[in-house]
Amino acid sequence: MTAKLDTLAQLLDERLGDRIVAQRRALNELTIEVGVDRYREVLQTLRDDPELAFDQLIDLCGVDYSTWGAREQRARRFAVVVHLLSIDRNWRLRVRCFAEDDGFPMVPSLTPLWTCADWFEREAFDLFGIVFPGHEDLRRILTDYGFVGHPFRKDFPVSGHVEMRYDPTQQRVVYQPVSIEPREVIPRIVREDKYGNPRHG
């Protein structure tokens, strides 16, 4: 497995060179980071190069890094993470691309390269509000018809903003502001370094 990753890492260096911003290897997985301007071009190479041969787009998702608490900081808020698989070479790759503008994140669409990017991008648009120029049919997909907001952004509460109920006087379903208080049962904790180490005191 590691020998295979070595080959892949080397191949990526050769074929993509300075077109990738960073290459990272952790937990037997390879991640590359690309800028928005070279994103489509890099993925085209990854797909079409006969040696790399990433013929399958396994997954595409958005990530909101706005409350990221880890040591390694992120400069931008929204990223699109793509998982690729090559059936012929039997290897995987993760590609991350940060959107430039936090207010209006935009990442080029991959639909011309992989048909299945269609729904994945609609999902990322729906849940994170990332816009994919080049996508022909960027509608909401998972949320309700007429939904407002992008629910997977970190500033969107779990309980949402509106709730729905049947109103017997109007004899129809109505929306109203949520009546439940947001609560957190178990707080989110990031432990300090060396916690639990007996010598730490």
Partner 1 sequence: MAELRNYTLNFGPQHPAAHGVLRLVLELDGEVVERADPHIGLLHRATEKLAEHRTWLQSVPYMDRLDYVSMMCNEHAYCMAIEKLLGIEPPLRALYIRTLFDEVTRILNHLLNIGTHALDVGAMSIMLYTFREREDLIDAYEAVSGSRMHAAYYRPGGVYRDLPDRMPQYRESKWKDPATVKALNEARSGSLLDYLDDFCTRFPKYIDEYATLLNENRIWKQRLVGIGVVSAERARQLGFSGVMLRGSGVEWDLRKKQPYAAYDRVDFDVPVGVTGDSYDRYLCRMEEMRQSTRIMKQCIDWLRVNPGPVITDNAKVAPPSREAMKSNMEELIHHFKLFSEGMHVPEGEAYAAVEHPKGEFGIYLVSDGANKPYRMKIRAPGFVHLAAMDEMARGHMIADVVTIIGSQDIVFGEIDR
Nearer to partner 1, 88 or 167 (CB): 88
Which residues 145-174 are close enough to bind partner 1 by CB under 8 A?
151-152, 158
189 contacts partner 1 (rule: CB under 8 A): yes
* DSSP per position, 121-134: HHHHHHHH--B-TT
Work out which of 14, 37, 68, 167 binds partner 1, going by CB under 8 A.
68
* DSSP per position, 64-101: E-TT--SSS--SSSEEEEEEEEETTTTEEEEEEEE-S-
Work out which of 5, 11, 36, 81 binds partner 1, going by CB under 8 A.
81
82 contacts partner 1 (rule: CB under 8 A): no
Q: Which stretch binds partner 1 (CB under 8 A): 12-20, 53-61, 103-111, 162-170?
A: 53-61
50 contacts partner 1 (rule: CB under 8 A): no
Contacts of 140 by beta carbon, 8 Å cutoff, 6+ apart: 122, 125, 126, 147
Residue type, 7: T
Which residues 104-143 are close enough to bind partner 1 by CB under 8 A?
114-116, 118-119, 140-143
Residue (of 51, 17, 48, 44) closest to 32 by Cα position: 17
* DSSP per position, 20-46: EEEEEEETTEEEEEE-HHHHHHHHHHH
Mask 19-38, x = binds partner 1 (CB under 8 A)? Answer: -------xxxx-x-------
Contact (CB, 8 A) for 133 and 39:
no
49 contacts partner 1 (rule: CB under 8 A): no
Contacts of 72 by beta carbon, 8 Å cutoff, 6+ apart: none
* Nearest distance, CB of residue 111 and partner 1, angstroms: 11
**Cα(134)–Cα(76) distance, integer angstroms:** 22
191 contacts partner 1 (rule: CB under 8 A): yes
180 contacts partner 1 (rule: CB under 8 A): no
5 contacts partner 1 (rule: CB under 8 A): no
Contact (CB, 8 A) for 88 and 48:
no
* Binding residues for partner 1 (CB under 8 A): 26-29, 31, 55-59, 61, 63-64, 68-72, 81, 83, 87, 90, 92, 94, 114-116, 118-119, 140-144, 151-152, 158, 184, 186, 188-191, 196
